[in-house]
């Protein structure tokens, strides 16, 4: 049987177009980290269970470790490196700082991308709903209260995108 061939795919990542050659089993997470050197997106479990690898794909949050890069050919991806506007932090980034919403910071890129996606979904209104809809993003440092406080502040301030 012939060996699987690498495929050339095109991804718009943080508004820049990239062509990359990937084997069919390469995850979007590995494509971002190893092909494009965008290491802000973290690999925690690599099994879809921790949320550390969350990125935005065409504006929707996805788990990049369980997504094959070839499935996203032609898509627009936003990683934590792309959420700020130049020097101006995204409101969620600023709110995470203001609320001490991290300790080691390993879960933070995934938390912020997930929160951007969750706010965009428009389903959460209350703190309990935010907690529920962010429950796929784990924080081993126990910074959860600050994380939810930060997200609530942005939602209530109406400054989110």
Tell whether residue 151 is a contact of ligand FES (CB under 6 A). Answer: no
Residue 39 lies near ligand FES (rule: CB under 6 A): no
CB of 52 to ligand FES, least distance (A): 5
* 117 touching ligand FES, by CB under 6 A: no
Torsion angle of C-alpha atoms 130, 131, 133, 134, degrees rounded to 10: 110
Nearer to ligand FES, 6 or 45 (CB): 45
Q: At closest approach, how far in Å is the CB of 92 from ligand FES?
A: 15
Is 118 a residue that touches ligand FES (CB under 6 A)? no
CA distances from residue 3 to 23, 31, 70, 73 in whole angstroms, order as listed: 10, 20, 17, 21
Q: Does 152 bind ligand FES (CB under 6 A)?
A: no
Q: How far is the CB of 5 from ligand FES (least distance, A)?
A: 26
User: Per CB under 6 A, does 77 bind ligand FES?
Assistant: no
Please spell the DSSP secondary structure of 68-133, one letter per residue. Answer: BGGGGTT-EEE-GGGSSBTTBPPHHHHHHHHTT--SS-SSHHHHHHHHHHHHHHT---SHHHHHHH
Q: Rounded to the nearest whole angstrom, what is the least distance from the CB of residue 9 to ligand FES in the complex?
A: 20
Judged by CB under 6 A, which of 139, 150, 151, 154 binds ligand FES?
139
Residue 4 exposed, middle or buried by CB count within 10 Å (0-12, 13-18, 19+): exposed
- Binders of ligand FES: how many residues, by CB under 6 A? 23
Closest distance to ligand FES from the beta carbon of 101 (Å): 8
Sign of the Cα torsion 143, 103, 32, 58 reads: positive
Rounded CA-CA distance 147/93 in Å is 11
Residue pair 42/109 in contact (Cβ under 8 Å)? The answer is: yes
- Residues near ligand FES, by CB under 6 A: 43-46, 48-53, 63, 65, 102-108, 139-141, 143
């Amino acid at each position: 049987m012939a060996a699987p061939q690498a495929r050339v795919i095109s991804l718009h990542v943080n508004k820049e177009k990239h062509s990359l050659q990937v084997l069919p089993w390469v995850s979007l997470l590995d494509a971002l980290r190893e092909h494009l050197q965008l290491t802000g997106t973290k690999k925690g479990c690599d099994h879809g269970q921790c949320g550390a690898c969350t990125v935005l794909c065409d504006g929707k949050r996805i788990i990049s470790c369980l997504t094959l890069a070839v499935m996203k050919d032609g898509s627009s991806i936003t990683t934590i490196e792309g959420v700020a506007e130049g020097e101006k932090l995204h409101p969620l980034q600023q709110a995470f700082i203001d609320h001490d919403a991290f300790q080691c910071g390993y879960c933070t890129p995934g938390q912020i991308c997930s929160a951007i996606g969750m706010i965009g979904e428009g389903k959460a209104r209350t703190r309990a709903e935010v907690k529920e809809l962010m429950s796929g993003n784990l924080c081993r440092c126990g910074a959860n209260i600050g994380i939810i406080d930060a997200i609530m502040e942005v939602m209530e301030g109406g400054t989110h995108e």
